[in-house]
Amino acid sequence: MSEFWIVATGLGMAFHGLLILWVGGLPRAFSSGEPSTAEKGTPEAFGLFWLDQYSYIGGVLTLAGLGFVVWGSLQ
């Protein structure tokens, strides 16, 4: 029965991570083309920084969730 909860948790994590990536997109480091930049210390630079952090969180949740799904399925 514990496999069910591992898979269910993994699906939830992956779903939330994909939603974050849908809204925030990929981090600028993983995007193709010229990344957008802003002058250091400006509100635009602050926004770009937090959008990147938000996107990294989405990526980690997605990968960890998919890992949980695979792990729970193999047990």
The single residue listed with the structure tokens 């193709």 is 32
pLDDT in the model for residue 1: 66
Please give the chain's pLDDT, 75 residues, in tens: 689 999 999 999 999 999 999 999 888 888 777 877 889 999 999 999 999 999 999 999 999 999 999 999 998
* Whether this model's pTM surpasses 0.75: yes
List the chain domain ranges: 2-31+45-74
Report the chain's terminal Cα–Cα distance, integer Å.
10
